[in-house]
Amino acid sequence: MTLASLKKSGHWPTLATAFLYFDVSFMVWTMLTTLPVARLFSPR
C-alpha cells in the first residue's frame, strides 16, 4: 500500500469526525482524571 492509495481510501468526513471524537474524548478523559489528583494535592 502506497501513501497515495492511502490518501484516496476512506471517506474524509468520516475520518475527520473520528479524529475529532477521539481528540475530544481524550481531552475530557484527561481533565476528569486530573481533577481528583489536583484536589488531592491542593492545600485545604
**d(C-alpha 39, C-alpha 41), whole Å:** 6
Q: What is the pLDDT of residue 44?
A: 67
CA distances from 33 to 2, 8, 39 (A): 39, 38, 11
Quick one: cell of 32? 476528569
For the range 31-36, what are the long-range contacts, defined as Cβ-Cβ under 8 Å and sequence gap of 24 or more? none
- pTM here is 0.59
Q: What is the pLDDT of residue 32?
A: 86
**DSSP states along 1-44:** --HHHHHHSS-HHHHHHHHHHHHHHHHHHHHHHHHHHHHHHS--
Q: What is the pLDDT of residue 21?
A: 97
pLDDT digits (tens, 9 = 90+) for 1-44: 677 776 777 888 898 999 999 999 999 999 888 878 777 787 76
